Structure 1
Amino acid sequence: MKISRNDPYDSNLFIRGLGVLLTQMHSDLYEYTYFLTFKKSMKSYAKDFNDPYEQCIEDLGFFEKIEDPFVQNCLEAQIKLIYCKEQLILRFGIDEVEDLGDPFLVVQALRFRPYILVFKRSKSYKKLKLYYERSLSEFIESLYFYACALTAESYKIPLVLKRRFVLPDEESFRLLNHDDHTVELLTELIIGLKKDLNDLRLLTKK
């Protein structure tokens, strides 16, 4: 199935696609957290922990103890995504596992899909930090476009909304539909992730 910005807008499908995308973003950040941890702070265990799913670490408390500001930054962003995803699941009664297994809904998640680095195991710690920054930046842009589409009730986002992305938060969000709870949820997430991105960029300059 192909998707187009000219497709008739379907709010239910759009929200379900957003749910799938948030799960994909969450998984991506989990992988960054995992590999950043085992490529530096716990490098001596890297051979035993080289697959984030086969040697899965579900307890986020494990990563909270890692004394690496980049790991902590990634963990903070991950926690924000988890909260947003959980709120979406509660509000719309989404079955996360079922939706992830539905090819039709997975395709819906491609509408404003950001860059996601698939193979992280082979990347160095230094390169992972750069890819993480890129991913976080594109996550923010993607989520903003979702908020715009929800506001416009169209997959074809008006330029007047798109162009506001580069403006400071208040101006950037001013034309969004704040009466829509999902738009508000995304706005809060974007603001939080922007802070994480700014903090990350300060870290990379040190």
Structure 2
Amino acid sequence: MKLKLSIRIFWIFALLITTNSQAALVFLSASADMSSGLPLTTSLLPIGTSVTSNVSFDIGSGTIEASNFTNVTGTFSWVDSTFGAQVFNANNASISTTHSAGWFLLDFTGSGPTINGITADIFSIQFNIGTNPFTSPGSTTELYDLVINSSIDRMRVGASQGSWTHFGDLQSNVSGSVSAVPIPSALILLVSGLLGLFTIKIRKH
């Protein structure tokens, strides 16, 4: 009887701590065509080049100031007319810019290809929220909600050669989608499975 009671208490506690969290596993896909940029970026990605991104990451609970992204993985890919398929491998993400117009840039860094001495260093995706949550002293909106409830309206690339770094915009034919699996749901399923095993053992005894 005491064991059954402790299991019920454990279940209630687990349910409470998981449903209050906004952490999630996020899947993001986007594509856009190169539209403008400084010489290094347009040499790496000529105007009209289409870039496709498929990335995923864990997003922690908290506001946008925390910028809590982990387990970042994915690619930004395109086809170079001379050298063929090119891939930028993303392994880190952070928010670099927030704007009062209601958008923010999510930067992805990692390892990129080098073409004619020019290296892809960074790709960014701009999320448009539609309203301005960035009020002093900071946003009170969960980062999870900002990412999930916004649209993608621009990509950005940074390219370097020696000590020079140039940026360019991909604003033509932009499309994208964001989906998420809340981590609390996964934890609840795990807890449910464990409780099921405990229940079976109790009945056997």
Compute the TM-score of the two structures, normalised by the length of structure 2.
Answer: 0.24
User: Of Structure 1 and Structure 2, which has the larger fraction of its residues in helix?
Assistant: 1
Mark the structure with the bigger radius of gyration: 2
- Larger RCO (CA within 8 A; separation ≥ 6): 1
User: Of Structure 1 and Structure 2, which has the larger fraction of its residues in strand?
Assistant: 2
Compute the TM-score of the two structures, normalised by the length of structure 1.
Answer: 0.24
